[in-house]
């Protein structure tokens, strides 16, 4: 699976970036080829998906058994590679951190991406949840059925949300950081929860300069604890990778995966796969995410041969996305 965090790793925009050379990637699906001596519950030949602390973009991957899960019979390998990061992140934020319940409202940025689509699907499992989403306008037609109210990512969504819901929203899920932090907090209802789970605005590149990177950080408003107390607001952060690999909460994640696979088997949720790419096409695949050209998840497939046509198509598609300001 290809995630925005992989772009951040590549550019060193994370705490303690790993030393090169390294193999990127944090999730994968495949077939069990070998087992450790004391491993129980799995057999050689099992179809599985797994979290990996780097090294996922490879033909052979080794990871502790606590991070491995069996794939349901009717789930494809590409769906399985699109499943763990996005759905566990979405589920934990909605139900473990923000305590989503019937009748609540949620604002999610990048509603067309892998996490955004997972959030929308999980919200639909709870009655009367209103989902506000921001996304590039060219994605709106494709995702309009999964989100209650959809706004252009460059529009003034704060005014639009307040026009529909005067009080604001119960939950804000922010993967952008920067100036959106203050906007998100301003939209929270009393007892609402704002969750920062990424900072994709920190990724620089052809459409981003170091100065826009610095400007984004400068616009992160300093949160005043007294103001939080006076306004009855909750501000939280969520990092699935830290929870798994630094804070040893694999058991907690296993319980969440069991619930998610149950929802999948009951046809309540289904990963959205944007496209499959050969390992040799990783540059083009990363550019597609960087330009926010994808709807759902991009997958690297080690068995896929490079297709020049696909790479050209992706460039055209990605150019349809608005450039960053």
121 and 260 within one domain: no
Last residue of a domain, one of 243, 267, 285: 243
263 and 173 within one domain: no
For residues 317 and 289, give the distance between their C-alpha atoms in angstroms, rounded to a whole number: 11
109 and 66 within one domain: no
214 and 96 within one domain: yes
147 and 22 within one domain: no
CATH at 228: 3.40.50.720
What's the pLDDT score for residue 203? 54
Q: Is the model's pTM score more than 0.75? A: yes
325 residues of the chain, pLDDT tens digit each: 999 889 888 887 777 778 888 899 999 999 999 999 999 999 999 999 999 999 999 999 999 999 999 999 999 999 999 999 999 999 999 999 999 999 999 999 989 989 999 999 999 999 999 999 999 888 999 898 999 999 998 888 999 999 999 999 999 999 877 677 788 889 999 999 999 987 555 554 444 444 454 555 545 556 778 888 899 999 999 999 999 999 999 999 999 999 999 999 999 999 999 999 999 999 999 999 888 889 889 999 999 988 765 444 544 444 334 433 3
Is 208 contained in some domain? yes
Tell me which residue range forms the domain holding 18: 4-84+245-300
155 and 106 within one domain: yes
202 and 271 within one domain: no
């Amino acid at each position: 699976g290809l995630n925005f965090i992989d772009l951040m790793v590549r550019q060193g925009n994370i705490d303690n970036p790993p030393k090169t050379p390294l193999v990127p990637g944090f999730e994968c699906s495949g077939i069990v080829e070998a087992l450790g001596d004391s491993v129980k519950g799995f057999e050689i030949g099992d179809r599985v998906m797994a979290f990996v602390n780097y090294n996922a973009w490879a033909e052979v991957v080794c990871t502790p058994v606590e991070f491995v899960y069996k794939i349901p019979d009717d789930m494809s390998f590409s769906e399985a590679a699109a499943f763990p990061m996005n759905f566990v992140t979405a589920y934990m934020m909605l139900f473990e951190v923000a305590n989503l319940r019937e009748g609540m409202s949620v604002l999610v940025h990048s509603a067309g991406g892998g996490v955004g689509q997972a959030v929308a699907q999980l919200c639909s499992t709870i009655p009367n949840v209103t989902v506000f989403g921001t996304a590039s306008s060219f994605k709106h037609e494709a995702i309009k059925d999964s989100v209650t109210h959809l706004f252009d990512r460059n529009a003034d969504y704060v005014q639009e949300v307040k026009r529909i819901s005067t009080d604001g929203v119960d939950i804000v899920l922010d993967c952008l950081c920067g100036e959106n932090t203050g906007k998100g907090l301003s939209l929270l209802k009393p007892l609402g929860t704002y969750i920062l789970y990424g900072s994709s605005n920190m990724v620089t590149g052809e459409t981003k300069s170091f100065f826009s990177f610095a400007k984004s950080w400068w616009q992160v408003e300093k949160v005043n604890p007294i103001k939080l107390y006076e306004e009855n607001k909750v501000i939280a952060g969520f990092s699935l990778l830290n929870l798994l690999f630094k804070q040893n909460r694999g058991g907690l994640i296993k319980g969440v995966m069991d619930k998610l696979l149950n929802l999948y088997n009951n046809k309540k949720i289904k990963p959205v796969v944007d496209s499959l790419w050969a390992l040799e096409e990783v540059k083009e695949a990363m550019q597609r995410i960087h330009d926010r050209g994808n709807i759902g998840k991009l997958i690297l497939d080690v068995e896929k041969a490079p297709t020049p046509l696909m790479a050209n198509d992706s460039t055209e598609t990605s150019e349809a996305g608005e450039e960053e300001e």
